[in-house]
Amino acid sequence: MKVRPSFLILLTLSLLLLFVFSSIPPEKRKMLLTALGIPKPAGGQTQQGWQQIEDVIESFETHVTACHVPKTRATSEVEAQGKVFKWVDAEGKVHFTDKPKGKGAEDLTNRYKMEKQYFRMSITAAGGNLPPFLHDRLSADLKQLYFILSRWLPDQYIKQVDLNVKVFNDQTKFDVYREEHVPGLETASGFYKPSMDEAVVMVQRDAFMTQSIARHEATHVINSGLYGRTPVWFNEGLAEYFERLSIEGQSKRVNPSPHHLKLLQGALADGELMTVSDYLSIKGRAWRDHEQNMMYAMAWSVVHFMMQDSLGRETMKLLMTHMADNFCQPVNTVTFIEQHYVGGMKAFSERWRAALMSSDFQVHRY
């Protein structure tokens, strides 16, 4: 089939126009449409037409903006491991080393060999030294994070993710690096940009806080590897959730966030808290146009609430499976909850609101 040059020109201009519009925040986009003589209609069929324009732009942004993911592989692809030998010295003391000592040394390599590996982690310092024990503690945290995720996500969807963490101990250098790679982002603690395959962390005065930020950003890497593109509330909510993961011996727990809870309860008391349905309907760039402390608090509350009882966990499990099975494809959260949560969106909203009013956000133990 012969394609006319005029058609190619028209197609190119259309794609360019969509690209320009997709880079403009929704509110400014509406102002521009009005200035071009396309005012926002009051309702009815014309209102649907306006929404269709937004849907086309969102669809374009979803499919043209690269759905970049960190390098992944099967969990069965385990890195080469060193040898493990057990031997007893002349005084009867037992030793474990990577080299045999004496004729009676027992080779335990196969016994301790990993059958699965969930991530390969590289932590580098951007000037100065790494905080003490950060590598080992973050590695332990992520193993438990994967342990929790694997309870809800079918095994065939679990992938091994390459996790690259860059740690800064100089705020000025961190700020310069942030502006270079994610200009306009307002954060002094950490960020993750998929195209870089890198979680960037600024060292905090409190070591636990540094670990929390690292867990938060690492969760974004894992989300990207397992699901590709996800709703912003899910991506940020799960990161906020696992930011509060703590390990004490064999005990693993996720604590609620008093800060987020106080903020949400204050807005609720003042009659300024948006409904959870309205919140979950916010898509893409529009999420960043709202007050960010409230957006993160809402994201945390939805995830923590869903992880709290069997109804929420089952819905979360189905959502994770759906996103893994439909990698990088958009999902309408409100519709999904309506179809899969017992009682639909109405019951979900009522129970979420009741949990806020009664401060019923519990410590989760795994």
* Residue 226 main-chain phi, psi, to 5 deg: -85, -35
- Beta-carbon contacts of 153 under 8 Å, excluding residues fewer than 6 positions away, are 226, 317, 320, 321, 324
> pLDDT over 90 for what percent of the chain?
48
Residue reference for tokens 């969990």: 75
pLDDT in tens, 228-268: 989 999 999 999 999 999 988 888 999 999 999 999 999 99
pLDDT in tens, 150-179: 888 888 999 998 888 999 999 999 999 999
Of 68-72, 181-185, 257-261, 263-267, the one with minimum mean pLDDT is 68-72
User: Which pLDDT score is estimated for 336?
Assistant: 98
Q: Helix, strand, or coil here: 184?
A: coil
| Confidence band for 16, pLDDT divided at 50, 70 and 90 | low
pLDDT in tens, 41-67: 444 444 444 444 444 444 444 444 457
User: Which pLDDT score is estimated for 345?
Assistant: 98
User: Rounded to whole angstroms, how far apart are CA atoms 109 and 153?
Assistant: 30
- Beta-carbon contacts of 302 under 8 Å, excluding residues fewer than 6 positions away, are 233, 237, 276, 279, 280, 352
Residue reference for tokens 């951007």: 126
Please report how many Cα atoms fall inside a 13 Å half-sphere around the Cα of residue 94, on the Cβ side: 4
118-223: CATH superfamily:
Collagenase ColT, N-terminal domain (3.40.30.160)
pLDDT in tens, 194-230: 777 789 999 999 988 999 999 999 999 899 999 998 9
User: Which pLDDT score is estimated for 111?
Assistant: 63
| Residues 323/233, Cβ–Cβ less than 8 Å | no
Longest dimension (CA), the chain: 92
| Residues 202/174, Cβ–Cβ less than 8 Å | yes
